[in-house]
Amino acid sequence: MLSMGLYTALVKEISCLKDEKMAIASQRAELDRPVQEPEPVGTNIRSTCQICHRKGHKATGNRNNDGCLVGEPCRDYIFCGRKDKPKQDYVARIKKMKDREAKLTKEITGKENELKQLRDFHSRAMSVFTTTITPRLQAAFPEKYSAQSKAGRLELLRDISILRKAYNSNVNSLPTQDSPQTDRTEFLLALRKQSAEFPGVQNAPNSCEVVYGLLK
């Protein structure tokens, strides 16, 4: 049956993966913002230095045979304002982010499918359990679960919700069906035990509908 620990862990994991994907998308948007190219350093505006990647001079052979006029190599595309030059920086960062985004998308899809299967399985188990136990409860407690009264129907819903917890929505965990009197004894014990462990459940209106709604 549905493990709330597993369900909660899956929901949390999906949330964390989506948060990471959003963070990467934000970083990519920041990288994609246009950068301003700095003013040329030197008078030869048609030349671009192969060391600092700035315009205005060359790496060698400038006036007076000077080398790079900036005096330090290009650190990243922000330094020179040209994304096409330090490709190992900008392009590599973008590629790494895209690869991680693709992996995250695949992981999120897989986890969401796993979560859907868990919900579907639990929904089917709840439906089978309710269908199986309803006639047995009505036969064991005809005076309590009158289908003709709203109070009787609500009592039935509440007790099914409590028994669902007691038997973990597993029809194979239900006691063997011998007679309505046997069911009456067994279900009374289960209801009392479960209500003692979780006193709030007993008085919660439409508890099974609330639980089901949380897991849909």
- pLDDT tens, residue by residue, 20-35: 999 999 998 888 888 8
Average pLDDT over residues 117-131: 89
Tell me: pLDDT of 39 over 70.
yes
| pLDDT for the residue numbered 128 | 92
| pLDDT for the residue numbered 204 | 40
pTM for the whole structure: 0.56
15-19, 54-58, 68-72, 82-86: least confident range? 82-86
Structure tokens at 214: 């949380």
Classify the C-alpha dihedral 194-206-145-173 as positive or negative.
Answer: negative
Domain ranges in the chain?
A: 36-82, 115-215
- pLDDT tens, residue by residue, 157-194: 999 999 988 888 888 888 888 889 999 999 999 998 88
Tell me: pLDDT of 155 over 50.
yes
Give CA–CA dist 86/91, Å, rounded: 8
With a CB cutoff of 8 Å and minimum separation 6, the contacts of 16 are: none
| pLDDT for the residue numbered 74 | 87
| pLDDT for the residue numbered 200 | 52
Which position has the token pair 């499918």?
A: 113
Range from 1-10, 61-70, 106-115, 149-158 that averages highest in pLDDT: 106-115
| pLDDT for the residue numbered 12 | 94
* 11-26 CB burial, b ≥16 within 10 A, e <16: eeebeebeeebeebee
Contact 184, 140 (CB under 8 A): yes
Average pLDDT over residues 47-74: 83
Rg (CA), the chain: 34
Give CA–CA dist 98/95, Å, rounded: 5
| pLDDT for the residue numbered 199 | 58
> Which pLDDT band, with edges at 50, 70 and 90, does 148 fall under?
confident
3-class SS of residue 23: helix
| pLDDT for the residue numbered 87 | 60
Q: How many CB atoms lie within 10 A of CB 32?
A: 10
